[in-house]
Amino acid sequence: MTVLFEDSRQKPTQHILKNEYFKAEGFTVERTKLYVGDYMFPGGMTTVDTKADIYELASNLRQQHERFRRECVRAREAGYQLVVLVENVEKVSTLYDLADWIEPMEHFMARKRKSGGRVKVRFTGTSLYKTCKTMSTKYGVRFEFCPPERAGARVIELLKEVEYGRDDA
């Protein structure tokens, strides 16, 4: 069995599909505190940071920008390849697709209600795309997108592709 490290700060109940995939494919998942990201192979220099959806990505890039930027800097300085994998049910499969995305009005209104009216602007794909491109250029971060049911397989593919220079995962 191949060992896969999962960051201990991940909430196990929110990653059931991925963990079922890992188990079915013969991976032993060991939970440990990772320096950056959510998943990596022991001794590897690639780490995959998963986002539940575009809204979590948007929140990281907008409301938690400085914390997210520090993580990108830590990854680069430590020599890690950081891949951000965004799980989504939207029709976004590439960073270029993200540029055309716009936050649905019902999601924006729910976010606005939850914040007590402090939220004034909808997330737009154009601004998220520009921020992702800047993070890619400055810090070498790679952004990927996939449906939630493919996330487990995609994590393994990305780790093998980047670590071992192959995409036959």
What's the pLDDT tens digit per position in 38-50? 999 999 999 999 9
Own/partner contacts of 42-46, CB < 8 Å, gap of 24 or more, are 42/3, 42/5, 44/159, 44/163, 45/79, 45/80, 45/81, 45/163, 46/80, 46/81, 46/83, 46/158, 46/159, 46/162, 46/163
Contact call for residues 121 and 76 (beta carbons, < 8 A): no
Q: What pLDDT score was predicted for residue 1?
A: 64
In angstroms, the Cα distances linking 103 to 108, 118, 140, 151 are 7, 17, 26, 22
Q: What pLDDT score was predicted for residue 63?
A: 80
| Residue 155 CB coordination number (10 Å) | 27
Q: What pLDDT score was predicted for residue 165?
A: 55
Q: What pLDDT score was predicted for residue 88?
A: 85
**pLDDT beneath 70: ranges in the chain:** 1, 162-169
pTM for the model: 0.89
Q: Name the strand (E) or helix (H) holding 49.
A: strand 46-51
Rounded to whole angstroms, how far apart are CA atoms 89 and 158?
Answer: 20
Q: What pLDDT score was predicted for residue 82?
A: 97
Segment 50-66, tens digit of pLDDT: 999 998 999 899 888 89
CATH architecture of the region 43-164: 3-Layer(aba) Sandwich (3.40)
Smallest Cα–Cα separation from 60: which of 82, 89, 34? 82
Smallest Cα–Cα separation from 118: which of 126, 128, 108, 127? 108
Q: What pLDDT score was predicted for residue 162?
A: 62
